[in-house]
A = this chain, B = another copy of it.
Amino acid sequence: MKTKVSLLALASILGAQLCVADTNAPASDWKPCPSNQAGKQYPQYNSEGRVKFRIVAPEAKSVGCTFRESSEFTKGDDGAWYGHTRPLDEGFHYYSIKIDGAEVPDPNSRYYFGSSRWGSAVEIPAKDRDFYALKNVPHGHLREVNYFSKSSDKTRHIFVYTPPDYDKDTSKRYPVLYLQHGGGEDETGWAHQGYTGFIMDNLIAEGKSKPFIIVMENGGVGGPRPTNAAPAGAGGRGAFNFSAFEKVVIEDLIPHIDANFRTLADQPHRAMAGLSMGGMQTRSIAPAHLDKFSHIGVFSGGSIGVTNITDMARFKENVKLVFISYGSKELGPNTRGGDPKAVTTALKDAGVNAVFYESPNTAHEWLSWRRSLHEFAPLLFKD
């Protein structure tokens, strides 16, 4: 018994010393990231949220990655370079690998459109990832659709999610959510990194959301920043001008969707939402077309203040929901348009059905937006 205690005490002391000596050593419980190409063992993540890379670059002088405060990359016994990041938030992060000054995609990761380029991203599984997991439930279809837009004089590529029962009962018609990506992203954002299909499949299977169609356009109208963007405003941040995209949505997109899908083609059954730049587009377009939209969602894209609404009676009559969300880590005194929670509470006090959601422990990243969709969808089209 005495020996046992001594050993335990010794182990405890050693453990404490190791702890002090190895403060910066990463936990060794590395696992391959779900964002890897099939069969690739790297990148890996650990329980601290660090990501470790393995890059084969036999004659390189230096290898690194674009994550700030990463470890130095060093050559392992197998001749490949290894390095890891600081602890990152759970969720999804874009990055590149640096090889002797060249910024290139990691050959081990899958590729996504973000940061205005196709390139690498890494997924650190979130504790609540179950809500966007692929499950054996009825699945909707994610359709790639090309349609001709008169206002932009070109064929545009969009994604359309149709719910699981869409092809079963062809007499049924559905509400529509128009859902927009952020700056530097495109119509693939919600479809791929957003897991829109799996989030909706799971919500519908659990009976938590009505089934509806989701339309994902490219809000860039030619690029992540509209070519007709106004110069930087007095606020010191670039002002966005969404008039070209507004024409696409109102004159081309909605008519195409209503003509080619079994929609409930009226204002009570049409919603618009978006993240970041897509949230700003939603705040700009939906309130200007209250004859078209009844539900509004703004994720990490500012809020709608009482003073923004010129005709409150008309707004209240037409708008059934204003949903504002942010990641907790991006909220602060400088959040655009003031504290969005306070602004949303004031809107609620003015009689609007306004809901604020704060995503715990996330920043301006996809986990905030997946969660926002997951919270927003059940509130839509409740007749």
Contacts and interface: CB of A to CB of B under 8 A. Distances in A.
Given A136-B148, A143-B141, A62 B59 contact: yes
Interface residues of A, number: 49
B146 A143 contact: no
Given A60-B102, A100-B100, A102-B55, A107 B134 contact: no
Contacts of A141: 143-145, 160
A86 interface: no
A101 interface: yes
Contacts of A143: 141-144
Interface string A335-373: 000000000000000000000000000000000000000
A148 B139 CA distance: 10
A184 to B, nearest CB: 12
A102 B134 contact: no
Interface string A277-303: 000000000000000000000000000
Interface string A126-143: 000000001010010111
Interface in A130-170: 134, 136, 139, 141-148, 155, 160, 167-168, 170
A97 interface: yes
A61 B59 contact: yes
A39 interface: yes
A239 interface: no
A59 B104 CA distance: 14
Interface in A256-270: 260-262
Contact of A111 (B111, B134, B142): B111
Given A99-B99, A107-B104, A142 B139 contact: no
Given A58-B100, A105-B104, A145 B155 contact: no
B155 A136 contact: yes
A219 interface: no
A201 to B, nearest CB: 8
A57 B99 contact: yes
A251 interface: no
Nearest to A110: B118
B118 A134 contact: no
Contacts of A107: 96, 102-105, 117, 119
A61 to B, nearest CB: 6
A118 B155 contact: no
Contacts of A97: 104
A72 to B, nearest CB: 16
B261 A167 contact: yes
Interface of A: 37-39, 55-63, 96-97, 99-107, 110-111, 117-119, 134, 136, 139, 141-148, 155, 160, 167-168, 170, 197, 223, 260-262
A-B interface, 3 closest residue pairs, ranked by CB to CB distance from nearest: A57-B102, A58-B101, A170-B170
23 contacts: A55-B102, A57-B99, A57-B100, A57-B102, A58-B101, A58-B102, A59-B62, A60-B60, A61-B100, A99-B99, A99-B102, A104-B105, A104-B106, A104-B107, A105-B105, A141-B143, A141-B160, A142-B143, A142-B144, A143-B143, A167-B260, A167-B262, A170-B170
